[in-house]
Structure 1
Amino acid sequence: MTVTVDDHVTGQGDPAPAGEPRSVHRARWWRLLLRDPAATVAALVLLGVFLASTLGRVLIGDMDTEQNLRAVNTPPLHFENGWQFVLGSDALGRSVLARLIVAGGTTLSVAIPAVLISLVVGGAWGMWAGYHRGWRENVSMRIADIILSFPSLLLAVVVLYIFSPRVANIVLILSIARIPVYLRTARAESAELRSRLFVDAARTFGTKSGAIIVRHVTPVVAPTLLTVATLDFCFVMLSESSLSFLGIGIQAPDVSWGLMVAQGRQYLQSAWWTAVFPGLAIVITTVSATVLAAWFRLATDPAQRWRLALPRGRRGTRSALQEVHQ
């Protein structure tokens, strides 16, 4: 018996009917995610970080700024002074757990807007340039080359040193530095789609270029751009943490994970948890986003989606493709 790609992925012996409801298609995505333990854990970690960063402030109140001089540098897992010191306290007696929650919200408030701005601007610009080609494409690529010629972190350091290191300035400079990534990706995809039969058919029937880009090009390019955005989220978050660590990112009394590492590095011998825990938060979040991006890349590619039904260690082997057709 030969099993098709869709049958093997969905785990059903019979192919799904052509008119199946959208809810069934949505359930397939959940089933694909649950079949990959690593991607499932990564999604749960990111969901937990997002919920803790957005809703945690309601639960902790002003606990991140309250000082308890009787609990200075309290080690983790000590509950004598309350549950809020489960991850210890810093040199001013502030809860590390509460500061991690607030710092996560600050870090996400920089990374998410920066990625969204660069994704929308760079993606739309790249699809416009790739579809029209000609001078539009040449000018766009030269602008992208000029931006990429400057190291993004060095460019951010110079700009933030001249202007005030506010959250809005950090988001703006990081988003501008990452626009060429999406511009080049969208340009390459849309330039290839321009010669496809369905685009030629739409052009033959008199559809305007803007409508073709929105209706036919964007749905095909969007999965690739979203995969790039997931990976770029890690880079932007690490860039913000690096800038805060250098002292030109988030400024006190605000706090971010990078700033917590910078403030706790001088206490590594006496209170290591003040720097290690925010560093672990950065590592765990970036690794989870990377794992989920790898899963999303396979899930959105019909030619590679069958690999998600195989064990993670066998997805790259030659025998994997043969196994699907047995």
Structure 2
Amino acid sequence: MTREDSSPGDAAAPARRVRPSWWRMLGRDRAAAVGAVVLTLVTLVALLGPLFIGDRAQRQDLDASLRPPSLGDGPYGLLGTDVLGRSMVARLIEAAATTLSVAVPAVLCSLVIGSALGLWAGYHGGRRESVAMRVADVILSFPSLLIAVVVLYVFSPSALNLVLILAVTRIPVYLRTARAEAAELRSRLFVDAARTFGTAGRMIICRHILPIALPTLLTVATLDFCFVMLTESSLSFLGIGIQPPDVSWGLMVAQGRQYLQTAWWVTVLPGLAIVLTTVSATVLAAWARIATDPAQRWRLTLPTRRRTASAPVPPEMIP
């Protein structure tokens, strides 16, 4: 069809906007893409790695004590050995599984419990909201690391106790975030309409409030994952976290700190794993916060060089 054949109505019709895919937005942000790749690799190593290494993480060889990284000792000698001659590759893989088995359940438990209580308190308001917020304030008044140290010192240090205490101390973070979201959304027109038609409060929370608050809660959970993992590493470094024969990245740093000058790889490698994982999660959380915000998502569709320049007006704001 030629230009003359086109009708005026077709020319006046607005162009159909195509929502950019998540993969395309992630590919345009190089830092977030690298962070996603790192987290994916860490997760795959933690899930599948123990199936291949067998008992190599605990197998001792005193003749190979503190052997430096070498290409001639096979794949398990690429990163050297520790003081007992155990492969650093195998121990890093097993430590990744242990660290994630503590951080992920703790974050999920605190996310579910805190979000449910926060949405319930924020939607209903009144005395329920006041009681929930006062409980959150009491828990937040004590440093979470200090509470974990005291509780784990009184009770036996174990992975289960570590997950429970970290989950309890992080519940107020999600409770306050969810409460703020629900308190702001409960006066919206669509919530009033659902309430007018007799929809139960539980269904309003699940169908109307939760989908809007979920991106913010997931972003907070991603950042909180970094905090929980660093807390677990700190407790294991102090000797009241993961206990031998289990191994975590924080425990590996603690066990190798006295060999830092003679065998740097024993401490530096697990410390580097902690840094890479937490930084990747932080960068990915910042990207996810923009990607899930309809008012800011358009920034991720711009070329990388144009993001640092003056930001143009988004298409939604053009009259």
TM-score (norm 2): 0.92
Contact 2:298 2:314 in 1 (8 A): no
- Partner secondary structure for residue 271 of structure 1: coil
2:271 corresponds in structure 1 to 279
1:74 CA drift (Å): 1.1
1:315 CA drift (Å): 3.8
1:177 corresponds in structure 2 to 169
1:202 corresponds in structure 2 to 194
Work out which of the two has the higher radius of gyration on C-alpha atoms and give 1 or 2: 2
1:133 corresponds in structure 2 to 125
Code of the aligned partner of 1:301: D
Deviation by residue 1:166-192 (Cα, 9 ceiling, x = unmatched)? 111000000000000000000000000
Contact 2:68 2:80 in 1 (8 A): yes
1:269 corresponds to which of 253, 261, 265: 261
% same residue: 68
Matches within 5 A, 1:1-326: 14-16=16-18, 28-76=21-69, 78-312=70-304, 315=307, 319-322=310-313
Deviation by residue 1:196-241 (Cα, 9 ceiling, x = unmatched)? 0000000000000001001101100100000000000000000000
**Structure 2 gaps, min length 5:** 1-14
1:20 corresponds in structure 2 to none
Contact 2:237 2:254 in 1 (8 A): yes
Contact 1:310 1:320 in 2 (8 A): no
Q: Report the Cα distance in structure 1 between the residues aligned to 2:68 and 2:156, rounded to whole angstroms.
A: 36
Deviation by residue 1:80-125 (Cα, 9 ceiling, x = unmatched)? 3322010010011100111000001000000000000000000010
Change (3 A) 1:310 1:125: same
Code of the aligned partner of 1:37: R
- Partner secondary structure for residue 156 of structure 2: coil
Q: How many equivalent residue pairs?
A: 303
Change (3 A) 1:246 1:313: farther
- Partner secondary structure for residue 151 of structure 2: helix
1:152 CA drift (Å): 0.2
Code of the aligned partner of 1:34: G
- Partner secondary structure for residue 90 of structure 1: coil
- Partner secondary structure for residue 312 of structure 2: helix
Contact 1:45 1:285 in 2 (8 A): yes
